[in-house]
Amino acid sequence: MAAVAMRLPVSRKAAAPSGPRGGEKHLVAPGDTITTDTGYMRGHGTYVDEEKLIASVAGAVERVNKLVCVKALKTRYNGEVGDIVVGRITEVQQKRWKVETNSRLDSVLLLSSMNLPGGELRRRSAEDELAMRDYLQEGDLISAEVQSVFSDGAVSLHTRSLKYGKLGQGVLVQVSPSLVKRQKTHFHDLPCGASVILGNNGFIWIYPTTEQKDEEAGGFTTNLEPVPLSDREVISRLRNCIVALATQKLMLFDTSILYCYEASLPHQIKDILKPEVMEEIVLETRQRLLDLEG
Amino acid sequence: MRDVSSGRSRGTGTPLSCHGPASAPRPRGRRSAPWGCGVGVPAPHCPPGDTDWGSHHSQGCRTGGGSHHPRGHGEGVPPLLGLQSWGSRHPPAPGDMEWGSHLPQGCRARVPPPHHPTGHGAGALPDRALVNCQYSMATFSTGERKRRPHGDRKSSEMTLHLKQTFEAAILTELYPRSQIDIYVQILQADGGNYCACVNAATLAVIDAGIPMRDYVCASSAGFVEDTALADLSYVEEASGGPQAALALLPTSGQIALLQMDSRLHEDHLEAVIEAASGACRAVHAVLDGVVRDHVREVTALLGD
C-alpha cells in the first residue's frame, strides 16, 4: 500500500454562498474610495487622501456610527486587554521573557507577572532572576492573559492565575486569529475526552483532560506521564477537525469543534485531511449550527 | 484556496495564446512553454514548509508589432491571459501561517506577516516598518540552466528596486519596529522580470493583509520602429532597443518607479510612458478582479 497519497490538481468549485447574506457587505480592495463624506472618522484599514476615505486592505467595510474601518481577511493578532493567548517562549532576558504570539511584535512576560511555584506572593529577588530559566525556557509553551498593550502594539502578558502557566503534553494548532470566536471562556473541557484552549491569537492547544485539578502546581510542573492511546486518538481527531474547520473558514468555538468531531466519527482520523471529506464534514457542521440557531 | 488545473498549455483556443502577427518566432527549442505555466497547484493538505500558490499566467502573449496594447492587435485593452486564481497559505504549517504566494508569469512571491525584525544588523526603525526584499531566479528559469549566487549585482539591484517600490506603496508608519519581508522568485524568465515580481508581490501583500495605498502594477515598455510597445518579451528586450519599466499606482495615477537603462529621444518618452501606463491599468483590472472574487468568497464562507 502506498505510503503517500497523490492526487492531480482539480479545479475547485466555488463555494456556494450560504443564503443571501453575502450581498449586504461592502467589499473593498486597496485604493478603493469608501466615501467622500468628511463626517466619518477613519478606523483601521483606511487612510485619508485629499478628503477621500480610501481603503488600504482588502476586506469588508464595517461602520459603527461614525467610525468606518475595513476588516482585512487575514491579520496578525492585535492584542486586547483580557484576551487569552497561547504563546511560545523565544528569549529569556533580564527580568522578562519574550513570547511569540503570532502578533507583529513579540509579546513580553515580565517576571513580576508570573506566578511563583506554590502560588506565593512575594517580591521577586535576585535569586528569582537567576532562576528564571528553571521556570520557563526557550521553546516552552504557555497560556497567559493580556495585561496591557504598549503604544507600538506590543503586548504584555501575565499568568497571575493558577489556570495559566506552562503547558504540558498536548497538540498545538495554528490558525488565523480572525477565526477564533470571542467568548466568555476559552478553556473548554470537551465531552469527547480532551480539553482545548482557544487562544485569541490563533494558537489552539489540545490536551488530555486532567482528572483532578491540582491546586498547588501553579502551572509549572508538567505532567510527563504517558498519555493513553484512546486519549491520543481523540486529540488527533480533534486536531484534524480544527484544521478542517480552519481550511473551510468556519469560526472556531467549542460547539463548532464538538459538532465537527461528531461529524467526523464515521471517518478514519487520517482521512479527515482529504479535501472531499473536509468539505463534507464542515458542511454537516454548518448545517447543525444553523439548526441550532434557527 | 483553489485548485487549478495546471495544464502546460493554456488551451484557451483563442489566437492570443499563439504568436501575434508581426512577432519574431519564439525560439521554441529553448523553453518548453514560452508563457509561464504556473508550477504550483495547491493541495489543501500541503506539508509544512511548503507554500500554496495559484497559478497565474499574466502576460501570456507578448508580441511586439504595431500598437500600444500588449498584444499588438489594436483591439481594446485585452484581458491578460490566465490570471486565474490565487492561493493562500493555510494553517497547517507551524510558524508559517499567513503567506500569500502568487505566480504571475512564472514568478512567485511570498510575504510573511509583519514580525519582529530578525536583525540582520540593520535593526528596527522606531517609527516605520523595515521592508526587506529578496529576489532570486530559479536555475531553470532561463534557457540555459544556470546557478545564480545570491547577492550578485543583478539581484541586488532588483532587490533595491523592489524595496523602493514597496516602501512607497505600503503604509509603513502603521508597523513601527517591525519588519515586512517580501521574497520573490522567478520561475520562468521571459522578459519583464521586475514587472512580474511587482505584480506578484502586490497580490501577496494584499493577501497578507498589510495595508497599502493602492495596488502596484508594473509593466515594461519599449520603442521599436517609431512605435511604442508595452510588455516586452525576452526576445524584444534582448534586441537592444530602449526599454523602460514602470510601476504605477493605478487609481491615483502616481508612479512608484520608472526606470530606464537605455537611450531614448525625449520626444518618444511620452509615448512610451503612455504605453506602459495602459498595460499597467490592464494588469490592475485583472488583479482587482481576482482579489474581489477571493474576498467575496471568503466573506461568504466566514458568514457571520
* pLDDT score of B276 more than 90: yes
* pLDDT score of B110 more than 50: yes
pLDDT of res. A2: 66
Task: Name the pTM for this structure.
Answer: 0.73
Task: Decide if A21 touches B, using CB distance below 8 A.
Answer: yes
Q: Would you tell me which residues 97-116 of chain B have a C-beta closer than 8 angstroms to some C-beta of chain A? A: 97-98, 113-116
* pLDDT score of A145 more than 70: yes
pLDDT digits (tens, 9 = 90+) for B231-265: 888 888 888 889 899 999 998 889 999 999 888 88
How many whole angstroms separate alpha carbon B253 and alpha carbon A5?
49
Task: Give the residue, A189 or A105, on which the prediction is more confident.
Answer: A189
Residue type, A105: L
Of the partner residues A30, A76, A247, the one whose CB lies closest to the CB of residue B113 = A76
* pLDDT score of B63 more than 70: no
DSSP codes, A114-133: EPPGGG------HHHHHTHH
pLDDT of res. A64: 87
The alpha-carbon gap from A82 to the nearest alpha carbon of chain B, in Å, equals 22
Q: Is the ipTM of this complex over 0.90?
A: no
Cβ-Cβ contacts under 8 Å, A10 against chain B: 3, 5
Q: Cβ of A185: how many Cβ atoms within 10 Å?
A: 9
Of the partner residues B4, B291, B299, the one whose CB lies closest to the CB of residue A29 = B291
Q: How many CA atoms lie within 13 A of B202 on its CB side?
A: 33
* 8 A C-beta contact, residue A54 and residue A47: yes
CA-CA distances (angstroms) from residue A262 to A183, B48, B116?
22, 27, 40
Task: Decide if B260 touches A, using CB distance below 8 A.
Answer: no
pLDDT digits (tens, 9 = 90+) for B71-94: 332 223 233 333 433 444 333 333
Alpha-helix residue ranges (DSSP H) falling in chain B:
153-169, 193-208, 234-238, 266-302
Confidence of residue A239 (pLDDT cuts 50, 70, 90): very high
* 8 A C-beta contact, residue A142 and residue A73: no
Task: Give the residue, A140 or A122, on which the prediction is more confident.
Answer: A140
pLDDT digits (tens, 9 = 90+) for B148-182: 777 788 889 989 999 999 999 999 888 888 888 99
Put simply, the answer to whether A29 touches B206 (Cβ < 8 Å) is yes
pLDDT digits (tens, 9 = 90+) for A29-57: 898 888 888 788 888 888 888 888 889 99
Put simply, the answer to whether A18 touches B300 (Cβ < 8 Å) is yes
Of the partner residues B94, B214, B292, the one whose CB lies closest to the CB of residue A31 = B214
pLDDT over 90 percentage in chain B: 24
Cβ-Cβ contacts under 8 Å, B95 against chain A: 174
Task: Give the residue, A284 or A221, on which the prediction is more confident.
Answer: A284
Task: Search chain A and give the residue with CA nearest B301.
Answer: A249
Partners of B220 in beta bridges: B245
pLDDT of res. A17: 52
Task: Decide if B90 touches A, using CB distance below 8 A.
Answer: yes
* 8 A C-beta contact, residue B246 and residue B276: yes
Q: What's the whole-number mean pLDDT along residues A83-107?
A: 88
Task: Decide if A63 touches B, using CB distance below 8 A.
Answer: no
Q: What is the mean pLDDT of chain B?
A: 68
